[in-house]
Amino acid sequence: MLLALALPGFCAGIARAVPATRTLKISTWNLEWLLDEQAPQTRTAPIDRPRRRQADYGQLAALARRLNSDVTGLQETDSPASIGRLFPADTYRIVVSDDHVLQKTALVVRAGLPVQRNPDITALDTTAPAAPHHLRSGLDITLGSGNAQLRVLVVHLKTGCWDDPITQTQHACPVLFRQFAILSDWVADRAREGGAFAIIGDFNRRLNPHDPLLAQLARATPLDLVTANKASPCQGGEYFIDHIILGGPAIGWEEPHSLQVMNVPQGLGSNLSDHCPVSITLRLPAPPAGHA
């Protein structure tokens, strides 16, 4: 098991020991072009994308059951119908962004957990309106109620700027830098509200405690990058690009040493996913006296 690490200096003064009786497992998983093969839009997908057979869906559904997460942010999927083949509707509620692109962000929430949808963060699509290809919006959801309410933003950011310096002015980096500025505004809004929040998803960036982009996000409030200074056992032990970032009271809810990566088999004739689910467990605060 990997160990979660709070960012040095970013979490000063925030208590981590919170009395609690309930837990919430949160995961993020890029599903690598999980599409409805019967949908007309699928014809526009790249020809070299994975094409799943029934056996592949069976394996992915088995992985989802083994993941057994309460809240899972998904990337690279198109619809509730596709997601429902992995996460059945009688067990989970599925929310998908309203983007007019094939690769959407989504959130799968265990049935019974209150869900409130906020407007998508469409500003993360920094392309011009007439551009032939658009970027993905952030899916913004408020979960739970009372003192255990958690605001979750699911993102899938621009690829290609893995660890370049902020002086890089070519390729994908300027786009990614603009997206981080938009995320910084979202974090600042959450800081003003004072509630618990998390940003989860595929950042396409090997974030670490010294990355100026992470420091930009943390300008308004302390943050906890739970994947900090860790290498993923998925894909040969590279540093994470799939991250979970906690802010506000959620930092104090994190269960120590709960960071996990579930291995997804690669190759062997299967078309599963080139990403592995990344998860942590939060220990939610107990409701106030007199509230069940």
Owning domain of residue 152: 21-38+48-285
* Tokens representing residue 199 in the block: 């940003």
Flag whether 34 is in a domain: yes
CA distance to 52, 104, 117, 170, 286, per residue, from 79 (Å): 15, 8, 16, 33, 35
Phi first, then psi: what are they for 152, rounded to 5°? -120, 130
CA distance to 72, 101, 187, per residue, from 181 (Å): 25, 22, 10
What SS3 state is found at 51?
coil
| Per-residue pLDDT tens digits for 52-91 | 999 999 999 999 999 999 999 999 999 999 999 999 999 9
Flag whether 9 is in a domain: no
Flag whether 88 is in a domain: yes
Flag whether 170 is in a domain: yes
| Structural domains of the chain, count | 1
Flag whether 74 is in a domain: yes
Flag whether 292 is in a domain: no
CATH number, domain containing residue 248: 3.60.10.10
| Per-residue pLDDT tens digits for 229-287 | 999 998 778 899 999 999 999 999 999 999 999 999 987 778 999 999 999 999 999 88
pTM of the model: 0.91
Flag whether 7 is in a domain: no
Flag whether 143 is in a domain: yes
CB atoms within 10 A of CB 283: 19
